[in-house]
Amino acid sequence: MNILESFKMATTTLLANKLRSSLTMLGIIIGNASVIAMIGIGEGAQKFANKQFEALGPNTLFIVPGSPEGKNTGIFTPKTLVIADAEAIAKQLSTVKNVAPDITNKIPINYRNQNSNSSVIGTTPAYLSVRNFKIARGRFFQELDIKRNQPVAILGPDLVKKLFGSQNPIGQQVRIQNVAFKVIGLTVAKGSFLGDNNDDLAFIPITTMSSRVIGRTSPYGIELSMISVSAKNQNSIRAAEFQIKNLLRLRHKIIQDDDFSIESQQNILEIINTISSALTMMLAAIAGISLLVGGIGIMNIMLVSVTERTQEIGLRKAIGANQQDILLQFIIEAVLLSVVGGVIGIVVGGSAVVLFGIFTPLNAGVSPTAVLVAASVSGGIGLFFGVLPARRAAQLDPIVALRSA
């Protein structure tokens, strides 16, 4: 008997027991669907993280006050960075393109009877290019506004909705810490990043922030919350980080531990991608357990099938079928159950990933590698768990089989 005839007989047998075959495939279907979905969603999360970090600005370095050791232990970190540090980085380092110092505080903002407790960022015009913000209407403040401590503000779209609704805010005045600020511009919607809403912000000149909103607190200059630096290109990031560290250590007269930390966009992204990949693989491994359970289910059903079909096996052997024919038919049945279940699982998992990508911000997609692995594993499980029942069926003695039937 050739393979085609064995395949036809196996198909006929499985179709004759549709409910049993469907229940047998259920474990494989769930396992494959889970693996495809978990890997697709995990890759979507990585793409989403990449997109979010690109929105921060290209080739960006973030310098924050306080030592890394203090941050890890939760110790309060003093404001060790001042605006003179940012100016020195901009003037003295050849690998740096733009520098944007900032002071950030959550401050009440009012317009008539509307209030919002939003983040107010005192910064310089370079902030737009370094952090990749764009102006939708109006303008950003200029160097002249910085020098004159002008009370002007640029608002994010979410803050505009809270305070003005559908009104035009350009030219209106808002009160920040009871100081009147004229709205001169609006930013383009940027979305949230790591829990921070980039559209619920107000930007004001850094000098105005330090002198009229929070007040000066350091004899060494304007204290900063952060210095954002954009390197000249991708290849300059490491060199820029090295130069910034040496310059600040020299300026701060540091002998031992640094009183600042430098993080690059690339480093943070690598950490997030590593964590995301590990979580995806862990979830996929957990989902893969159901494939093992499905394989055991196939073996159990095939063993039951061998017992039920003892007379059939005896009759086939009596009329000339050999061990290889019986072995082949039962292996084909097991592989068919796994492969069909695997295909259905891939379709279900792929559909779930597509729907997840449509209804969530994660750019989830079906991974061809995951599909190939799932299909291969499904076929392998059917072959592996089908061998024992097939061998038991092939080794039955025809006389004993007919007598026991």
Task: Give pLDDT, residue 52.
Answer: 67
> Cα angle at 239 between 234 and 244, to 5 degrees?
115
pTM for the structure as a whole:
0.65
Residues 6+ apart with CB under 8 A from 257: 67, 69
- Using CA atoms, how far apart are residues 6 and 353, in angstroms rounded to an integer? 37
Alpha-carbon radius of gyration of the chain: 33
Task: Give pLDDT, residue 118.
Answer: 92
Task: Give pLDDT, residue 74.
Answer: 46
- Using CA atoms, how far apart are residues 32 and 41, in angstroms rounded to an integer? 14
φ, ψ of residue 111 to 5 degrees: the values are -140, 110
Q: Which residue has the tokens 């499904």?
A: 378
- Ordered DSSP codes for 217-273: --TTS-B-SEEEEEESSGGGHHHHHHHHHHHHHHHTT-SSS-SEEEEEHHHHHHHHH
Task: Kindly state the tokens that stand for 153.
Answer: 């503000």
Kindly give the confidence (pLDDT) of every residue in the chain, 405 residues in length, as a single tens digit, with 9 standing for 90 and above. Answer: 567 777 777 788 778 778 878 887 887 888 888 888 888 887 787 777 777 666 665 688 999 988 766 554 444 456 689 999 999 999 999 999 999 999 999 999 999 889 999 999 999 999 998 988 999 999 999 999 999 999 999 999 999 999 998 899 999 999 998 899 999 999 999 877 666 788 999 999 999 999 888 876 666 678 899 999 998 888 888 899 999 999 999 998 888 888 888 887 777 777 777 777 787 777 777 767 777 777 777 777 777 777 666 666 676 667 666 777 777 777 788 788 888 888 888 888 888 888 887 877 777 777 777 777 777 777 777 777 777 777 776 666 666 655 655
Task: Give pLDDT, residue 216.
Answer: 65
- Using CA atoms, how far apart are residues 221 and 67, in angstroms rounded to an integer? 20
DSSP state of 364: -
Q: Which helix (H) or strand (E) holds 285?
A: helix 265-308
φ, ψ of residue 119 to 5 degrees: the values are -75, 130
Strand partners, 118: 107
Select from 268, 238, 213 the least CA-distant residue to 64. 268
- Using CA atoms, how far apart are residues 261 and 58, in angstroms rounded to an integer? 19
φ, ψ of residue 61 to 5 degrees: the values are -120, 145
Residues 6+ apart with CB under 8 A from 259: 65, 66, 67, 78, 80, 252
Task: Give pLDDT, residue 405.
Answer: 52
Task: Give pLDDT, residue 58.
Answer: 61
φ, ψ of residue 140 to 5 degrees: the values are -90, 160
Task: Give pLDDT, residue 331.
Answer: 79
Task: Give pLDDT, residue 75.
Answer: 47
